[in-house]
Amino acid sequence: GDAGGGGLGPGGGAAPGPLGAAGPDSPRAAPSPGRAGGERGRQGAPQAEWQMRVLSQLRSHILPGGSSPDGAADEGFTSPRPLRAAAVGADEDRSPDFAEHLNLAEFVLRRITHAVGVLQSPEKRDLDLVLREYTEEMVLEVCRDLRQWLEQLATLLSLYHVHMLDLERERRRLQGLLEARQASRAREEEERGDAVRRHDCLKRRWEEEKMRRRAEELLGLKLEGGDEKIYTQGDVDAMRAEWEKENVDPLLQELQELRAQRDERLGRRPARVVAQAGSLAAEQVALLLQALDALGERLADPDQSEAVERLADAVRGGGAALPDALRAVERLP
């Protein structure tokens, strides 16, 4: 009963109960609300230590081994050996379950002390769990925000990319427009230079004309026909004839010689061509004529088309006009 309830304290007074509360008549039984939590926190540890010492002292006086089940040393309580021997002798009259009662009392005392500590300051037990849960919730919330911001960032990057493409296309358009304007300006500058030169030339001519008229008025001379030709028409015709004789006549003579040589070469071909044409069968001649007609229709050049038609007509006529048709073909460029 002394182990589970009150007992003698370290100073010889009344020991507090297992819950660490004062007696009903104590002036500290009803502390103020502001001081109750602090005093309970300060008194909890000494009371639990004192109660454990009481149990240890009882066990050392009564039990033969004199030690607690958990092997804890008894601090602050020393018992002389005669008392312990007397206790050992008196233990024979006690119940054999007394040691078990002491162990049960110690277990209950530890549980009650733990419960009292939890009731006095529950935040000390749950602080780590609450903080961990709160931290996990905050981390999860931050991760959600980061995910949302990353999604928004991806959307913004896509929009920025589209805007950059639009700006690049606009820049290229403006670059092309600028180059066209620069080229147009260069042409305009060139035209302006030409216009300035023509204007200067006309101005000089106008100044010369004014000076000429002024001279006519001052000198009383009429200078009409100042731009008369130096040579007469007869002189020009004579010079032209001389130039043709020196340059054109040799070329015409050479051209006639070349034509004569060509006609001489072509003059040997008609008999052979006619002989070959005469040796062709009627079907082969018809096929040749169809090929020539198709070729003449597909030629874009009128001269070439006409030469091919003449060749086809010469073949239809029996080959008498083939030399002329051949010459027409060879004269083609």
In a domain, 153, yes or no: yes
Residues 207 and 187 in one domain: yes
pLDDT for 25 equals 39
pLDDT exceeds 70 at position 167: yes
Residues 272 and 259 in one domain: no
Candidate from 127-136, 163-172, 269-278, 304-313 with smallest mean pLDDT? 269-278
Domain that holds residue 255: 232-266
Residues 169 and 214 in one domain: yes
Q: How far apart are CA 108 and CA 115, in angstroms?
A: 10
In a domain, 111, yes or no: yes
In a domain, 249, yes or no: yes
Q: Which helix (H) or strand (E) holds 181?
A: helix 122-219
Residues 65 and 142 in one domain: no
pLDDT exceeds 60 at position 289: yes
Candidate from 1-5, 160-164, 184-188 with smallest mean pLDDT? 1-5
In a domain, 288, yes or no: yes
Question: Which tens digits make up the pLDDT trace of 208-264?
Answer: 888 888 888 777 766 655 555 566 777 888 888 888 888 888 888 888 888 888 778
The band of 11, judged by pLDDT with boundaries at 50, 70 and 90, is very low
pLDDT for 190 equals 92
Residues 66 and 112 in one domain: yes
In a domain, 1, yes or no: no
Residues 208 and 281 in one domain: no
In a domain, 12, yes or no: no
Domain count for the chain: 4
The band of 280, judged by pLDDT with boundaries at 50, 70 and 90, is low
Question: Which tens digits make up the pLDDT trace of 46-60?
Answer: 777 787 787 787 777
Residues 214 and 252 in one domain: no
In a domain, 3, yes or no: no
Q: How far apart are CA 225 and CA 212, in angstroms?
A: 13
Give a three-class secondary structure readout of the chain. Answer: CCCCCCCECCCCCECCCCCCCCCCCCCCCCCCHHHHHHHHHHHHHHHHHHHHHHHHHHHHHHCCCCCCCCCCCCCCCCCCHHHHHHHHHHHHHCCCCHHHHHHHHHHHHHHHHHHHHHHHCHHHHHHHHHHHHHHHHHHHHHHHHHHHHHHHHHHHHHHHHHHHHHHHHHHHHHHHHHHHHHHHHHHHHHHHHHHHHHHHHHHHHHHHHHHHHHHHHHHCCCCCCCCCCCCCHHHHHHHHHHHHHHHHHHHHHHHHHHHHHHHHHHHCHHHHHHHHHHHCCHHHHHHHHHHHHHHHHHCCCHHHHHHHHHHHHHHHCCCCCHHHHHHHHHCCC
In a domain, 313, yes or no: yes
Per the structure block, which two tokens stand in for 155? 């959307």
Considering 197, 224, 251, which residue would you say is the last residue of a domain?
A: 224
Per the structure block, which two tokens stand in for 327? 């010459």
The whole-number average pLDDT for the span 102-126 is: 77
The winner for highest mean pLDDT among 66-70, 95-99, 203-207, 218-222 is 203-207
Candidate from 121-125, 201-205, 217-221, 274-278 with smallest mean pLDDT? 274-278
Considering 74, 98, 120, which residue would you say is the last residue of a domain?
A: 120
pLDDT for 333 equals 65
